[in-house]
Amino acid sequence: MVGIIPVMHVILIGYRASGKTSVGRQLTSVLGLPFFDVDDATCERIGCDSIAQIWEEHGEPYWREHEVQATADLCRGPDCIISLGGGTLMQQVARQAVEDCHAVRIYLQCDPEEIDRRISGDSRSEQTRPSLTNLGGGLEEIVSVLEVRDPVYRAVADHVLDVTELSIEQITSKVVAWWDASIAAG
C-alpha cells in the first residue's frame, strides 16, 4: 500500500527585512511549490497594497483581523511556501494556525543592525510599512520589538537560522535540507 504524503508547508518566520520574501521566491523555483506572502495576501484581501495606508485608514486591529484570516486560510490550503508578516505570530489565532499546520517552520534570525541597514536601504519601506512603536523606526525600534517577538519566533520555529551573513542561496540550501528531512520523516 502506498502511503499518502500529508500536506507540508514551508513557513518562514522573522522580522521585516530578514529575507523571508527573497528566500520564499527562491524556494519556489527549487521546490516547485507556490509562494505566498501573508502581508501581500492580507493587502489583497483588504483591497489596498500599502500596510501603512491600511493602518492609517482603518487601524492596526483591522489589519490584524485580516492578517489572522489570511494566515489561517494559507495554513489550511495545499502545499506551499508561506512568508509570515513580522507581527503575525503575535496574534494568538494566527500563531495557533501556524503551530497546528503540518509544516517545517523556520525562523530567519537576523541581527538588529543588519535589519536596520536593510530597511534603511529600501526606499519603499518607509512608504509602505508603518512604524511599529512610538520610536518611529530605526535600530532602537527594531531592538525593542525583537525583545518581544524573538522568544515567540523561537518557540514556534522548528529551526532557527542566523541569516545575518548568509546569501539567499545559502539560506535556501539549508531550508531545502530541512524540508527534505521533514518529508522523509513523514
Can you give the pLDDT at residue 51?
83
19: nearest Cα among 102, 119, 95, 113 = 119
Can you give the pLDDT at residue 135?
55
What cell was used for 172? 535556501
9-178 — its CATH code? 3.40.50.300
Can you give the pLDDT at residue 183?
80
| Cell 532557527 belongs to residue | 160
The whole-angstrom separation of Cα 78 and Cα 154 is 25
Q: Which helix (H) or strand (E) holds 140?
A: helix 138-156
Phi, psi of 35 (to 5 degrees): -115, 135
Helices (H), 47-121: 51-58, 60-76, 92-100, 112-120
Can you give the pLDDT at residue 1?
37
- Mean pLDDT split into 10-residue runs, the chain, 186 residues: 60 95 95 94 89 86 94 95 96 96 96 91 56 65 94 98 97 94 80
Can you give the pLDDT at residue 59?
87
What cell was used for 98? 501556524
For residue 170, give Cα distances in angstroms to 23, 151, 161.
10, 24, 11
Can you give the pLDDT at residue 136?
62
The whole-angstrom separation of Cα 51 and Cα 130 is 7
CA 23, chain centre distance (Å): 10
